[in-house]
Structure 1
Amino acid sequence: MSAPPLIYIAGVSPRSGTNYLSRLVSKHPSCVAIADGEDHFLSKSDLLRLFAERVYGHWSVDWSLKKKNTSKDVLGAIGEGLLKFLRSQAITENGQTAEENTSTVVTKTPHPKNVGLFDRLFHDSFLILLIRDGRAVTESRMRTFEESFDEAVQAWRRGAREVIRFVEEHGWTSDWHRVLKYETVFKDPEEELRQIYDDVGMNFSSYPSSYLEEIAVVGSSTYGEDGEGVTWEEKQDDGSFNPLNRFQDWEKEKHERFEWLAGEEFRNLGYTTSQPITSASVARHYLLDVKQFPKNAKRAVHAKLRSLVFSHVTE
């Protein structure tokens, strides 16, 4: 089995650990990583699919273009161009670009939108879909983005629903993808890396094992300073870093509210709930829903209008 040209890491939501996993995976000597940032190619790929379908639809049935290809071929060709671009942005250990390098490119995006298009956009590549406990993500989003509790939970829930739809269609693993839990990666990174490299045809024995002990904390809301919700400077763990218990100080009401808003999605992703909703609190949650309704309705209307406008201008 030959290694794929691309390993693409997508997260259930921003603050789900894609930066951490990308740094781990890309340390293999057969991999190169994008210098910085997140490409967002996959989350916007519905626009590329629409482009491919519209172009293909305008081709005459008498043309060889139409006879020899499908809209999926057009989308795949776009993906090849994107991969070439990603390779031009990747940096090798000696600081050079990897345009002429045959190493596997590792890139990431914190959103799961359009993950179902991955195998059509990036042929022969590998997708890692990273999920994380919604309570930890919620707490981290509140610290980082200054979101309200409900906003943060609902953002995680939207991503979780995307992942659930993907899993229902494609399963938890296949020859081109794997769904991972951040918690298992953090607890035993070596075992999870062995599995990933086995999936993509790489040998873990080449991995610099000392890196697992030396890896610094980057992009964590735990070490934000001077009012900042997150820091992107490397920080050595001082013993206080435990991203698995971010919600340990939540009061009962927060646990119940999370269960009310996202309990079903939480369990469907394989997590267990520790705080069932009591009958006495149901009325309170309905009242909170009513309070949040104007904000949620505004978001829904905005999304619908954007969809209608985009549909009109692309006709």
Structure 2
Amino acid sequence: MSVSNTAQLAGDLRINQVVRMTKRVLGARFLNDEDFMPEISQEQGRHLANLARRARGDINTPILILGVMPRSGTNFVRDLVSKHPDVAADPGRLYEFPLLHAAGDAAAFTRDFLRYFPRNEEVMGKYDVLAMLAGAWFRELQSQDDRKHILLKCPHVQDLSLARHIFPDAKIILCLRDGRDVVESSLKTFSRFSLTSKNFRQLADEWRLGTEAIMTFDNAGENANADTMIVRYEDVVADTHGNVRKVLSHVGLFEDRFPWDEIDKMPVRGSSRSKVSNDDRWKPEAKSADFNPVKRWASWSDSKKARFDRLAGSALELAGYER
């Protein structure tokens, strides 16, 4: 990270973030359950959804792809869904849409707003601004193409309990990937010399927390709902056609309009095995004959496998992965 970027990051930090960033830089645990699943009451959820709907107006059903964390396959799922002719991916050139991930910043803005006239707290909730912003932003993005369904993605599920309230009626796809492959890919992809880099323990911890949050939306989970589905990256790789059909059914798109013959010709984007770096890594590259992004962790030493199991083995089991 450059000196100017480091200075900007330090300037943007709020007091409550300083402790977290310090822990992250020191290699300690810096995330907890509340970061992924803040408590939202039913009444609060209904209120936020109503605010978002009024700000959004009548638009086509939006599609959101959220990943358990970076390197979890959101690009692959996005590229697949975006091939449907009724989908407008990355509207407004928003290649990532971390609005949910910025929920804490929206809450901080609300606190600043209330500080100038505290009585406004009688009519404003912690996430009201976030819900109204989400709705208005979706309306603006939809106006760029009123015929298609807008598709946005983000490789994070922090503040996931807010998603169906600030994005009401949107079709949400939650992407899971084996945490060991996520850690392996992350360590190979991102620089270890950045202040914001994460070590093995931090990555495993983040994956566990994100997976536990996602699995509450499973069919038998406490947050299960018709607008949210979970896909496992490995399943999509193994049976791409079958899983694309499930996704299309979930979001309400017609199968017969999908270009099925293009799936096997799809290039690779963002592979940790790519020989290019930085922004060029995310450009399409031809898929090699031996390309296999599944179970790369199998080459780990026994001690490394055991370490991950101690840190996140329970989440592997919860998500249906072998321990």
8 Å Cα contact 1:3-1:201 kept in structure 2? no
Match of 2:98 in 1: 40
2:189 aligned with 1:144, yes or no?
A: yes
Alignment of 1:1-315 (within 5 A): 4-34=60-90, 35=93, 37-48=95-106, 58-59=119-120, 76-87=131-142, 99-145=144-190, 146=192, 147-165=198-216, 167=218, 168-171=221-224, 174-225=225-276, 231-273=281-323
- Distance change (3 Å), C-alpha of 1:201 and 1:58: farther
The C-alpha deviation readout for 1:128-186, integer Å capped at 9, x for no partner, is 11111001101001101235433332332232233245554313xx2211011111111
SS at structure 1 position matched to 2:153: strand
8 Å Cα contact 1:221-1:229 kept in structure 2? no
TM-score normalised per structure 1: 0.71
Unaligned runs of 5+ in 1: 88-97, 274-315
SS at structure 2 position matched to 1:243: coil
Asked which structure has the greater CA Rg, the reply is: 1
Match of 1:278 in 2: none
CA distance in 1, matches of 2:274, 2:149: 32
Q: Which amino acid aligns with 2:189?
A: T
For residue 3 of structure 1, report the CA deviation from its aligned partner: 9.4
For residue 82 of structure 1, report the CA deviation from its aligned partner: 2.0
CA distance in 2, matches of 1:180, 1:121: 22
% identity of equivalent residues: 29
CA distance in 1, matches of 2:97, 2:181: 24
CA distance in 2, matches of 1:49, 1:207: 40
CA distance in 2, matches of 1:38, 1:206: 26
CA distance in 1, matches of 2:127, 2:287: 46
Q: Which amino acid aligns with 2:99?
A: F
Q: Which amino acid aligns with 1:84?
A: R
The C-alpha deviation readout for 1:24-73, integer Å capped at 9, x for no partner, is 11111110111353110111124446767987x94597xxxx6xx98887
Aligned-residue CA RMSD (Å): 3.0
CA distance in 2, matches of 1:228, 1:70: 40
CA distance in 1, matches of 2:308, 2:160: 25
SS at structure 2 position matched to 1:151: helix
TM-score normalised per structure 2: 0.69
The C-alpha deviation readout for 1:188-227, integer Å capped at 9, x for no partner, is 12111111111222111100112201100011112234x7
Q: Which amino acid aligns with 1:212?
A: I
How many residues are treated as equivalent by the alignment?
253
CA distance in 2, matches of 1:248, 1:129: 25
- Distance change (3 Å), C-alpha of 1:228 and 1:119: closer
